[in-house]
Structure 1
């Protein structure tokens, strides 16, 4: 088990560029299975989850050429479908939540798609019903082996249909869209997710020859086509990493510039940090966070009641940043209620922050009230273990703000979502060592 050793309490300074978006990469990489032609993808983050998926695609028979750092060429013109039913695939697929999104493209192009029950973060139940209910409505037959937890869908030819999704699942919508682009006839997907990363997928598919309308709304209409061609695509910067760096700047009272953030795709993120009293300045396509030497004050609602920050489907606030918001609130002036609606285990990491001296009341699995210290009492350095990607980075931010030496174990979780995070933090003055 790898570990970070952090000497906290130091101010940082400089600029940092966000990596390519992890959640977009997992969708885009699966879409290359829809065509036998060459697809070039740029700004791919060099992180564990994405590299696992690239390796899995290689075992499927995809020809992969690394063109430069973050740039790859893929060609899926000779897919090995036998690998899908091999013991090796059952092991490989379990280690990656994003592997579920290979099912839609494989089903659309080859008439069958299989996947073992995927792994990922231990943050609560993450149902796959939306994915498979969508495939069934498109005409696929579904089977599930409880013994080895193996899912499968098969169809001679998918047929377009109308569907109202039970939940606006991002990965579920992506999977269904990738299946529908090669289906016969028109597919209407209502209550579709509309996150920027899903918009990116739809735009890429349209460049490949798909006919998708309503991109950016919660109603997508897909006119099926016979085949798709190659294209080139560049991924957006990772909005979760951008939010992480905003929080890091505030907690360490540091002046930081986050470059090339694609402001127009950030939605509510800058404004939610502003509600915590953090100054987020737009400078072209960069974000500048000045040093908050006098701290930052949480706003209250107009009627004077305590501010509540909760997650919601896009264009609401992303659940992946609630852990960061919670940590940042521990040193604010004032109080805030954090309401994590989507995952019932995501707030359980707060016990580690309480051990560091944070004033947090865990109301129930979904809600926590944070009473800020206003920097009058700093967090204390401690030893802790990262439970998942986002909580891990939140604890890392807490450790960088706390005076003394902290140890974070199980940093493989952080590496799953953040590229060379220790090197990049050292470049702006952080004292962090991988041991």
Structure 2
């Protein structure tokens, strides 16, 4: 378990280029299983979760070749389905949340898909019902061995159907889309997730020969085809990392330019930060954030306290609420952070309270933050990163606190952020990585 030692309290200045989107990459990589032809993917982030999935695909028999720093080719010509029954697969598959999305492609192309109960962040319940109900509606037989914690779906032939998803699950929608593109007939998915990750997956599949309409909406229609071909695809910049950099600039009173952000794909993220009082300027496709000594939280029209809450796209992504909470600790004014999706994601607030933040954890889903208006800086302390997003939020807090802070279990941060220490050090941060 590695550690970051951070000397905080210094403003940063310079340019940051966001990595490829983690959540898109996990879907796109799984989609390479849908064809026996070569697929080239660019802008793949070099992070633990993505690298684990690439390794898992290689173990399954996919030919993987790294063409350049962030570009790979994949050819799933000789997939070894027997590997799915191996102890090694149980170990590797259960360590990675994104492994769940290999089931849809395997089921569609080979008639069977197995996966151990996947791991990931400990942020609350993350049920998989949407995935398997969708597969069953397409005609698959589902079996869950509770003793082994192992999921199996099998089908001689998937058949298109109408389905109304019980929740707009991003990974569930992705998995069902990948199963439906090779199903016989037409599949209609209502209440589908429509995040940019899903839109990108659909565009990639269309370029491979899939027939999908309604992309960008919550009503998708998929006409199954017999076979998909190869393609070339570029992953979007990571909106979560972009939001993290915006929050970093505000907390550390820094002047930062975030390059090539694909602004139109950020949804309401910039506006949500603006409501916290953070100034920014769009320059081409770059975001310029000037140095601010103070920033003031907006209120609702009637003067009541602002609420920042997550919601399905185009609402605010839940992955950024940890950053919004940290940024609010140094704002002028108060805000209610409402994390609707996961009931354990706000539990990291006790670490911020130890640093001097004024936060009332109302319940597992809501926290009220009383901003310190940069008058009382957070105190340095020793912390443990509980998950990816809380980990980077704590890193931002540590960079704003004058003195030495320590963050343990930074493997959690490495799961979602590529070389974050090196990239921030290049613009003036003082982060030392200690490998234990």
**Displacement, 1:87?**
1.0
Residue 73 of structure 2 is aligned to residue 73 of structure 1: yes
- Pairs within 5 Å for 1:3-152: 3-152=3-152
Whole-Å separation in 1 of the counterparts to 2:144 and 2:325: 39
Alpha-carbon offset, residue 208 of structure 1: 0.1
2:398 corresponds to which residue?
399
For residue 159 of structure 1, what is the aligned residue in structure 2? 159
Tell me the alpha carbon deviations over residues 133-191 of structure 1, each in whole angstroms, 9 at most, x when there is no partner: 00000000000111110000000000000000000000000000000000000000000
Normalised to the residue count of structure 1, the TM-score between the two structures is: 1.00
Equivalent residue, structure 1, for 2:233 = 233
SS at match of 1:51: helix
SS at match of 1:424: helix
CA contact (8 A) 1:39 1:73 kept: yes
| Alignment check: 8 A CA contact 1:96 1:119 kept | yes
Map of 1:377 onto structure 2: 376
Structure 1 residue 18: Cα displacement: 0.2
CA distance in 1, matches of 2:417, 2:182: 34
Aligned to 2:277: 277
- Residue 315, structure 1, aligned to residue 297, structure 2: no
CA distance in 1, matches of 2:74, 2:82: 20
Aligned counterpart, 1:253:
253
Deviation readout 1:27-55 (Å, 9 max, x if unpaired): 00000000000000000000000000000
CA distance in 2, matches of 1:312, 1:85: 38
Distance in 2, matches of 1:140 and 1:280, equals: 49
1:430 corresponds to:
429
CA distance in 1, matches of 2:180, 2:87: 29
- CA distance, structure 1, for counterparts of residue 288 and residue 270 of structure 2: 11
* Structure 2 unaligned residues grouped into runs of 5+: none
Secondary structure at the counterpart of residue 303 of structure 1: coil
SS in 2 for 1:348: helix
Length, aligned pairs only: 434
* Structure 1 Cα separation of the partners of residues 375 and 37 of structure 2: 60
Per the alignment, residue 365 of structure 1 pairs with 364
Distance in structure 1 (CA, Å) of the matches to 2:241 and 2:79 = 34
**Secondary structure in 2 matching 1:349:** helix
Who is 1:324 aligned against?
323
Q: Is the 8 A contact 1:39 1:231 kept in 2?
A: yes
CA distance in 2, matches of 1:281, 1:314: 23
Residue 187 of structure 1: aligned partner? 187
1:280 shift after superposition? 1.7
Shift of 1:418: 0.2
| RMSD (CA atoms) | 0.3
Q: Secondary structure at the match of 2:345?
A: coil
For residues 375 and 421 of structure 1, the distance between their equivalents in structure 2, rounded to whole angstroms, comes to 25
Q: Verify the 8 A CA contact 1:273 1:280 in the aligned structure 2.
A: no
Q: In 2, distance between residues paired with 1:19 and 1:278?
A: 22
Distance 1:275 1:420 in 2: 30
- Structure 1: which 4+ aligned runs deviate by more than 6 Å? none
> SS where residue 321 of structure 2 aligns?
helix
Q: Is 1:346 the counterpart of 2:349 in the alignment?
A: no
Task: Tell me how far apart the structure 2 counterparts of residues 254 and 112 of structure 1 sit (CA, whole Å).
Answer: 52
Mapping 1:412-431, distance limit 5 Å? 412-431=411-430
**Matched residues in 2 for 1:267 and 1:258: separation?**
16
CA offsets, 1:57-107, max 9 Å, x none? 000000011000010000000000000111111111000000000000000
Matches of 1:338 and 1:73, distance apart in 2: 41
Q: CA deviation at 1:220?
A: 0.3
Distance 1:404 1:176 in 2: 49
CA distance in 2, matches of 1:365, 1:65: 44
- Name the CA distance, whole Å, in 2 between partners of 1:146 and 1:431: 47
Q: Distance in 1 between matches of 2:334 and 2:38?
A: 52
| Whole-angstrom distance in 2 between the partners of 1:143 and 1:330 | 47
1:237 Cα deviation (Å)?
0.2
Shift of 1:334: 0.1
Question: Distance in 2 between the 1:65 and 1:341 partners?
Answer: 40
Aligned twin of 1:298: 297
Measured in 2, the distance between the counterparts of 1:321 and 1:238 equals: 12
